[in-house]
Amino acid sequence: MALEGRVIDRINALRVETPSWGYGNSGTRFKVFAQPGAARTIEEKLSDAAMVNRLTGICPSVAIHIPWDRVDDWDRLREFAAAQGVSIGAINPNLFQDDEYMLGSLGHPSAATRRQAVNHVLECIDIATKVGSSLVSLWLADGTNYPGQDDLRARRRRVLECLREIYSAMPADLRLLVEYKFFEPGFYSTDLPDWGTAFAICIELGPQAEVLVDTGHHAHGVNVEQIVAQLLDVGRLGGFHFNARKYADDDLIVGSTNPFELFLIFNELLAAEDDADGTVARCARNVAYMIDQSHNIEPKIEAMIQSVVNIQTAHAKALLIDRNRLHDGQRRGDVLAANRVLLEAYETDVRPLLQEARKRLGVDVDPIVALGASGYSERVARERGKAAAASGYPGA
């Protein structure tokens, strides 16, 4: 029971940030299906995120995207969020939707376009300060589509030079999370294609730059949990964009396609939290857990809650791993005994544990059922209607 109490405390200590763009209309490049009640403004997105937080008890911050969520008065927005019981989390600059960015942003061949891109990130740093956020997440759509289109090393130098300027403008309490992705929209090369490139850039910048792992940004078969382990061991894992993928950067509900991978990721994180090396343990404890999800056909608020529940499930299962027996199996070279320790934890039904954890948090034992019972989705559908409006997604 004492053990169960400790596990429940750790289940309830997890915090997951939800993204503003997950509440507005979004979709694929083929079609954005407008949904009744989809949030149209940043205030509506914050209200929906606040509902997710009320139902789950563990989602008190919301990532925003600039310019999709830009407002004139940031103090007012900060107060609006606080009144809803949430705060503004990571600021995500948008370096891919201006006509100027056809050939890239920080890696663009033209100095004028690079200037525009740097200025945009500087504005985002300023916004972070105004709204009280300690995170800027940077994803570059930069890359090339054809061999020979641009000089790959020159692009790297341009990106680095711009990032140096950005880094030097950061206040001491801000972290820059550098996200990588191996393809799209550049289909021949991407300027920050993998964790190693992102890590090398972070090392060149300094300790406030850390790598962001978006679980959907890897080629098929890549061992994402090993990447997580490597980044933890060098103290440079900054955060996650959790989502699920089957084929590409699908941005599906977290844990919907490969829940075992999610469990193995948490296995690495929890092991590192207790590492004897203080740098590793500190890094693991400061990881920013964020969802980066875009809903195409699924109801948005329900989908977000489903992701949070799936994250909690994987986290809870990883908390049950018997580390003594695991290490014992590893020491003895008993390959299958060690493997079975992980499977035992993974196969445990943690639903009763999560229900107990939710009771202690003072939220409903089943947040999805509670959402249905609240009538929230029907109410916002009535009030907001079905608007093909301003979520930021092309065609939305």
Binding site for Mn ion (CB under 5 A): 214, 241, 249, 292
The β-bridge relationship of strands 143-144 and 189-190 is antiparallel
Q: Does 225 bind ligand RM4 (CB under 6 A)?
A: no
Q: Does 292 bind ligand RM4 (CB under 6 A)?
A: yes
Q: Does 249 bind ligand RM4 (CB under 6 A)?
A: yes
Q: Which helix (H) or strand (E) holds 63?
A: strand 61-66
Q: Does 241 bind ligand RM4 (CB under 6 A)?
A: yes
On the 0-12 / 13-18 / 19+ scale of CB atoms within 10 A, 260 is middle
Q: Smaller CB distance to ligand RM4: residue 48 or 292?
A: 292
Q: Does 293 bind ligand RM4 (CB under 6 A)?
A: no
Q: Is 59 helix (H, G, I), strand (E, B) or coil?
A: coil
Residue 280 CB, shortest distance to ligand RM4, in Å, is 25
CB proximity list for 182: less than 8 A, separation 6 or greater: 190, 193, 194, 217, 218, 219
Residue nearest to ligand RM4 (CB): 139
Q: Which residue, 390, 393, 334, 395, is CA-closest to 97?
A: 393
Q: How far apart are CA 199 and CA 283, in angstroms?
A: 14
Q: What is the distance of C-alpha 166 from the center of its chain?
A: 21
The one-character DSSP state at 80 is: H
Residue 93 CB, shortest distance to Mn ion, in Å, is 12
Residue showing tokens 């929906």: 48
**103-142 mask for ligand RM4 (x: CB under 6 A)?**
------------------------------------x---
- How far separated are the first and last CA of the chain, in Å rounded? 50
Residue 19 CB, shortest distance to ligand RM4, in Å, is 8
Q: Does 300 bind ligand RM4 (CB under 6 A)?
A: no
Q: Smaller CB distance to ligand RM4: residue 53 or 94?
A: 94
Residue 291 CB, shortest distance to Mn ion, in Å, is 9
Q: Smaller CB distance to Mn ion: residue 241 or 295?
A: 241
Q: Is 303 helix (H, G, I), strand (E, B) or coil?
A: helix
Residue 190 CB, shortest distance to Mn ion, in Å, is 12
Bond before 185 cis per omega within 30 degrees: yes
Q: Does 179 bind ligand RM4 (CB under 6 A)?
A: yes
Q: Of these partners, Mn ion, ligand RM4, none, which one is at the site of residue 56 (CB under 5 to 8 Å by kind)? A: none
Q: How many CB atoms lie within 10 A of CB 331?
A: 9
Q: Does 92 bind ligand RM4 (CB under 6 A)?
A: yes
Binding positions for ligand RM4, rule: CB under 6 A: 92, 139, 179, 214, 241, 249, 292
